[in-house]
């Protein structure tokens, strides 16, 4: 396993990445554009353990070339060796694979680079920027950070999607995707500074398309001068 993945696979092997094979046990269409796939883990969870927002890289064939995409674990059960992944369906080989997935299918995966460090001091307010691709990680993050209030800028609509936000302490601000993420950037730039002033120890977590994430991460760190240990920004996907 791990052969034929080009330079990305070679770099991951040098970084001592761990490879596993997952087997599909079932599928469920949450909406027409959002599919949950359940797996057995091929021994992964017993080897790696579990942490909040934990993700894995899946490998797909893209017209004969290897293509990897990262997905956050949903409901991991180390004792049973099972978990689920949720796919926001659009054009691309990963979505094509998820649409066709059926029990017994297998997919190769690599675990490297994932991690989560509880912010200290605990957040007085959590600020989240994400979309359907990062929704599983948003759910995991909200569960991991306890009772802190949160403001969530969500690109797209949450209608029908499995979001765990609690209306009593989590405010969701939906933002339509326009101009390759520019509308989301504009909205967050306008609103985030006031939210950050609402408490002494805010924590900002950003996971959108790579360009939007890079832009907003730089805004928070450089223009708003939030300490780097209070900001986590990770690009989740690139427009095709």
pLDDT tens-digit series, residues 8-65: 544 444 345 689 999 999 999 999 999 999 999 999 999 999 999 999 999 999 999 9
The pLDDT score that the predictor gives to residue 128 is 98
pLDDT, mean of residues 113-139: 90
Would you place residue 7 in the very low, low, confident or very high pLDDT band (cuts 50, 70, 90)? Answer: very low
- pLDDT digits 0-9 by tens, 213-231: 999 999 999 999 999 999 9
The pLDDT score that the predictor gives to residue 112 is 76
Query: What is the fold of 6-111?
Result: Elongation Factor Tu (Ef-tu); domain 3 (2.40.30)
Is 127 in contact with 191 (CB distance < 8 Å)? no
Measured over the CA atoms of residue 195, residue 149, residue 117 and residue 59, the dihedral's sign is negative
Phi, psi for 188 (deg, rounded to 5): -65, -40
pLDDT, mean of residues 164-193: 95
Would you place residue 3 in the very low, low, confident or very high pLDDT band (cuts 50, 70, 90)? Answer: very low
Q: Evaluate if residue 1 carries a pLDDT over 70.
A: no
Cα–Cα distance, 227 to 201 (Å, whole number)? 10
CATH code for 125-233? 3.40.50.80
Average pLDDT, the chain: 90
Percentage of the chain with pLDDT > 70? 92
Tokens of 210: 């790579």
Query: Which of 111-125, 151-165, 190-204 is predicted least confidently?
Result: 111-125
Pairing of strands 231-233, 202-207: parallel
The pLDDT score that the predictor gives to residue 240 is 59
159's enclosing H/E stretch is none
The pLDDT score that the predictor gives to residue 238 is 76
Cα–Cα distance, 225 to 93 (Å, whole number)? 39
The pLDDT score that the predictor gives to residue 146 is 81
Would you place residue 4 in the very low, low, confident or very high pLDDT band (cuts 50, 70, 90)? Answer: low
pLDDT, mean of residues 83-104: 95
DSSP for residue 3:
-
| Boundaries of every domain in the chain | 6-111, 125-233
Q: Which candidate, 177, 169, 170, places its Cα nearest to that of 208?
A: 177
Tokens of 220: 């928070």
Would you place residue 159 in the very low, low, confident or very high pLDDT band (cuts 50, 70, 90)? Answer: very high
């Amino acid at each position: 396993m791990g052969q034929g993945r080009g330079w990305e696979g070679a770099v991951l092997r040098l970084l001592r990445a761990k490879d596993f094979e997952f087997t599909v046990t079932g599928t469920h269409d949450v909406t027409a554009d959002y599919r949950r796939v359940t797996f057995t883990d091929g021994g992964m969870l017993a080897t790696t353990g579990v942490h909040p927002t934990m993700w894995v890289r899946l490998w797909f064939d893209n017209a004969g070339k290897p293509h990897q995409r990262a997905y956050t674990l949903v409901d991991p059960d180390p004792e049973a060796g099972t978990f689920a992944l949720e796919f926001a369906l659009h054009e691309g080989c990963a979505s094509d694979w998820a649409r066709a997935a059926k029990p017994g299918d297998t997919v190769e995966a690599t675990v490297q680079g994932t991690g989560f460090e509880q912010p200290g001091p605990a957040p007085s307010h959590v600020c989240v920027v994400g979309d359907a691709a990062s929704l599983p990680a948003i759910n995991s993050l909200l569960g991991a950070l306890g009772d802190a209030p949160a403001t969530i800028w969500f690109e797209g609509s949450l209608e029908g999607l499995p979001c765990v936000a609690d209306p009593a302490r989590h405010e969701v601000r939906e933002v339509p995707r326009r101009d390759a993420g520019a509308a989301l950037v504009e909205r967050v730039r306008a609103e985030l500074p006031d939210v950050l002033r609402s408490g002494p120890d805010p924590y900002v977590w950003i996971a959108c398309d790579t360009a939007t994430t890079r832009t907003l991460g730089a805004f928070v760190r450089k223009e708003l001068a939030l300490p780097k240990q209070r900001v986590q920004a990770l690009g989740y996907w690139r427009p095709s």
